[in-house]
Amino acid sequence: MQEKVTALLQKALDENPSLFLINLEITPGNQIRVTIDGDYGVKVEDCIAVSRAIEHNLDREEEDFSLEVLSAGVSEPLTMARQYVKNVGRKLKVKTEGETLEGQLVAASEFDITLQWKTREPKPVGKGKVTVQKEAIVPYENIVEAKVMITF
């Protein structure tokens, strides 16, 4: 079942290259759960197309199954470099082993991300504080969890 679903899913994604797989889960009871994302977001029609591409090519007489095709939710952590690229310009909360950073995602390469934020720091000379622009380059392997921060 896993191989057949994977092949059907890959064919569906090949037909729409802006979509990509986040997770494929098949339980022992044949509950198939597919989570996708897209470079330009995911429309309901995209989920329907992927669902049909899988469902219409599996035989329920041969093996019973249930199928769910979902888009990656906004509250879900980012897991792939491609997701960071699509979120350049948005505010992220990034946890690493040693710290948590919040800032605007200004760049995403195949190896790392660049965050920028402003902070208030004591003046080098005299009293008071000054606003300073900070930047951090964080390699993907150092990211424990990263989420888009929704602001209203």
Task: Write down the domain spans for the chain.
Answer: 2-71, 81-148
Per-residue pLDDT of the chain (152 residues; tens, 9 = 90+): 889 999 999 999 999 999 999 999 999 999 999 999 999 999 999 999 999 999 999 988 888 999 999 998 878 899 999 999 999 999 999 999 999 999 999 999 999 999 999 999 999 888 999 999 999 999 999 999 999 998 77
Alpha carbons 56 and 68: distance in angstroms, whole number: 14
Alpha carbons 134 and 103: distance in angstroms, whole number: 9
pLDDT at 121: 92
Query: For the stretch 11-34, what's the b/e string if a residue is b when 16 or more beta carbons lie within 10 angstroms of its beta carbon?
Result: ebbeebeebbbbeeebeeeeebeb
pLDDT at 7: 94
Segment holding 84, helix H or strand E: helix 81-86
pLDDT at 2: 87
pLDDT at 43: 94
Residue bearing tokens 């198939």 = 32
pLDDT at 62: 86
2-71 against 81-148: fold identical: no
- Three-class SS of residue 77? coil
- Going from the C-alpha of 112 to that of each of 2, 6, 27, 74, the distances in angstroms are 32, 29, 33, 21
Structure tokens at 61: 């007489």
Fold designation for 81-148: SH3 type barrels. (2.30.30)
Alpha carbons 35 and 95: distance in angstroms, whole number: 23
pLDDT at 75: 81
Cβ–Cβ under 8 Å, residues 21 and 50: no
CA dihedral 72, 75, 80, 86 (to 10 degrees): 80
- In this structure, CATH architecture of domain 2-71: 2-Layer Sandwich (3.30)
Partners of 68 in the β-ladder: 33
Tell me the backbone φ, ψ of residue 13, rounded to 5 degrees: -70, -35
pLDDT at 147: 96
* pTM for the full predicted model: 0.82
pLDDT at 52: 95
